[in-house]
Amino acid sequence: GAVVSQHPSWVICKSGTSVKIECRSLDFQATTMFWYRQFPKQSLMLMATSNEGSKATYEQGVEKDKFLINHASLTLSTLTVTSAHPEDSSFYICSARVGGSYGYTFGSGTRLTVV
Amino acid sequence: GIQVEQSPPDLILQEGANSTLRCNFSDSVNNLQWFHQNPWGQLINLFYIPSGTKQNGRLSATTVATERYSLLYISSSQTTDSGVYFCAVDDKIIFGKGTRLHILP
């Protein structure tokens, strides 16, 4: 149980295009989801907190207009990288709180390459 | 914000050895988890342990919340234990920089 499904696993796109990444909680409801970015051999950096039915909360230094987050239902949050550039190439991963003694669970991540 | 420090940053061990990974945090926390990130990037949840001690097979963890640290123990290391181990705390899941573990056959 407590699975977060993230798609796509990897994507290659051209500069200037937009890419949407989806995270779905499969067997629980996720009022809040978190989006992270990870560069090679580095830690995970929190980008934003996604709240169902309301605007996302972005961390300092993260461009709201570049990384659009939508959390329209209790089981789906999306991250759209708009007008992607090569410097946006990274590993993006989402998570949600399961609760109880399980804590948080993570999606499998999306490796984005912008060419 | 809260600071999370992990040590050591890198660890190379022979198969069969035991290891201890440490996580220090700068403020009281409600949540603390240990993760293992595999070569494909997937984060495997090892322990949710805001306090106390837990064990799962060859792995165990202890968090002393009053002293703001947590320890992850790996006994009888196997090559499949290789990877990066992260400690993450608080409701926003703030990650430490990780310990990169390499187990030699």
Give the tokens for residue B74. Answer: 């790996």
* A45-95 confidence digits (pLDDT tens): 999 999 888 899 999 999 999 999 999 889 999 999 999 999 999 999 999
Return the percentage of chain B with pLDDT > 70, whole number.
Answer: 100
The answer to whether residue B82 scores a pLDDT higher than 90 is: yes
The answer to whether residue B31 scores a pLDDT higher than 80 is: yes
Report the side by side order of strands in the sheet with A76-81: A4-7, A19-25, A76-81, A67-73
Among A34, A38, A102, the residue with its CB nearest the CB of B93 is A34
Q: In sequence order, which residues have a C-beta less than 8 Å from that of residue B34 and are 6 or more positions away? A: B23, B46, B47, B49, B61, B70, B72, B85, B86, B87, B88
Å between B99 CA and nearest CA of chain A: 10
Among A91, A103, A111, the residue with its CB nearest the CB of B48 is A103
Spatial CA neighbour of B90 closest among B61, B48, B37:
B48
Å between A82 CA and nearest CA of chain B: 23
Amino acid A2: pLDDT: 82
* A90-112 confidence digits (pLDDT tens): 999 999 988 777 788 999 999 99
- Angstrom CA distances, B32 to A101, A103, A109, B16, B66, stand at 11, 8, 21, 27, 13
Amino acid A52: pLDDT: 87
**How far, in Å, CA of A82 to CA of B89, rounded?**
30
Amino acid B38: pLDDT: 87
By CA distance, what is B32's nearest residue in A?
A103
Å between B59 CA and nearest CA of chain A: 16
For residue B30, what pLDDT band results from cuts at 50, 70 and 90? Answer: confident
Among A38, A44, A101, the residue with its CB nearest the CB of B48 is A101
* A5-61 confidence digits (pLDDT tens): 999 999 999 999 999 999 999 988 888 999 999 998 899 999 999 988 889 999 999
Amino acid A99: pLDDT: 73
**Mean of all residue pLDDT scores within chain B:** 94
Please state the length of chain B: 105
B86·A49 Cβ contact <8 A: no
| Average pLDDT for B45-55 | 95
Amino acid A62: pLDDT: 95
